[in-house]
Structure 1
């Protein structure tokens, strides 16, 4: 079982690294490219669409919770050794 946990930890680290290597540059690009301003302006012009922003906010909260759980599990695992 120890080998299985070790491989699961390695796969988790790999997927986390891949995800962050894609999301961090994309977020940086979006913040410097004026994409956020264009989205806000489109929202003002059309009106409505509040449900989409609520879904987006819930998605962001979910991502933060998942990252917090991962950090918690990793820190607890390191204390046991």
Structure 2
């Protein structure tokens, strides 16, 4: 009966170790996915901010190059 119990204990330890290993791999892959999603979100935000700054720069250049004398509020260029 002793060898049967040792064999059964080995099977239980092996199964437990396998399940624990799968759990650790699952946690690591979940964390890696979160990191990748976070990096993609930051890159998207960076692109949006850079586009906004580019457009704001163009607007500023356009505002600075407009002739100030003789420009009325009803001017279609300003509208």
Fold shared per TM-score above 0.5: no
Structure with the bigger RCO (C-alpha within 8 Å, sep 6+) is: 1
Which structure would you say has the larger Rg?
2
Q: What TM-score, normalized by structure 2, do the two folds share?
A: 0.43
Higher relative helix content? 1
